[in-house]
């Protein structure tokens, strides 16, 4: 069994492509001292992502790195990793980052990249997870915080929170209900890591009551 990292004040980088509500929720948890962390940098692959403004308004350093300016994913990720390393980032938080993470990134941050997905994995991986859940007709959906591996939404699961699905739901109402849970699940998962309580055994995550247990 392997510990993700020893208890520490976390130095985070957030990677995001869009709106940034999860980014905001993590910032709030830090501000309220629920989460023992700081955000060293917010990186977006999209020049007009609203999350860039949100980070700037909070006085957090922002970077836009355009993947299209690189010949391939490896060279893009090499630059990304360099930006993380020079800032001594110890954990990378994907928050609505709309790209698959590749081998260069994962080699540098093995078991140290987290993602949040708006469904109870392994159901409804990929895009439009809320619509997939509605189309399938499930009565319960939710969100999943997981460690990122090379698959799409396939890595070891840290936390899941469930919400009911109502007959009257559409994609937006279900997404909104799930989002409220996302905004709790992400910082709570990060805080478990900050407390040194997350261990991995195969694809199972074990949450210890105390790091030395």
**Interface residues toward ligand GRF, by CB under 6 A:** 16, 18-23, 95-96, 116-118, 179, 182
Nearer to ligand GRF, 96 or 156 (CB): 96
Considering the complex, what minimum distance in angstroms separates the CB of residue 121 from ligand GRF?
11
Q: Which of 9, 117, 128, 210 is catalytic?
A: 117
Is there a catalytic annotation at residue 117?
A: yes
Closest distance between ligand GRF and the C-beta of residue 79, in Å?
23
Residue 16 or 35 having the CB closest to ligand GRF: 16
Task: Give per-residue burial for 165-204: e unless 16+ CB within 10 Å, then b.
Answer: beeebeeeebbebbbebbbebbbbbbbbbbbbbbbbeeee
Other Cβ atoms less than 10 A from the Cβ of 42: the count is 27
Q: In angstroms, what is the minimal distance from the CB of 18 to ligand GRF?
A: 4
Query: Which residue sits closest to ligand GRF, CB atoms considered?
Result: 96
Work out the widest C-alpha separation in the chain, in whole angstroms: 50
Residue closer to ligand GRF by CB (options 138, 206) is 138
Q: Tell the smallest beta-carbon distance from residue 62 to ligand GRF (Å).
A: 14
Nearer to ligand GRF, 19 or 208 (CB): 19
Looking at the annotation, which residues are catalytic?
Answer: 117
């Amino acid at each position: 069994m392997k510990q993700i990292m020893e208890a520490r004040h976390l130095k985070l980088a957030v990677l995001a492509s869009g709106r940034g509500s999860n980014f905001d929720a993590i910032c709030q948890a830090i501000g309220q001292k629920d989460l023992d962390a700081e955000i060293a940098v917010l990186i977006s692959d999209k020049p007009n992502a609203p999350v860039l403004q949100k980070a700037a308004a909070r006085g957090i350093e922002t970077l836009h790195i355009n993947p299209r300016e690189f010949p391939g994913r490896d060279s893009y990720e090499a630059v990304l990793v360099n930006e993380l390393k020079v800032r001594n980032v110890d954990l990378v938080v994907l928050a609505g980052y709309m790209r698959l993470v590749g081998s260069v990134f994962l080699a540098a941050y093995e078991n140290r990249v987290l993602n949040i997905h708006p469904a109870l994995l392994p159901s409804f991986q990929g895009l439009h997870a809320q619509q997939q859940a509605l189309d399938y007709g499930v009565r319960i959906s939710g969100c999943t915080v997981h460690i990122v591996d090379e698959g799409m939404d396939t890595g070891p699961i840290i936390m899941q929170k469930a919400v009911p699905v109502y007959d009257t739901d559409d994609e937006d109402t279900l997404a909104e209900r799930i989002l409220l849970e996302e905004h709790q699940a992400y910082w709570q998962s990060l805080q478990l890591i900050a407390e040194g309580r997350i261990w991995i055994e195969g694809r199972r995550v074990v949450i210890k009551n105390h790091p030395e247990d």
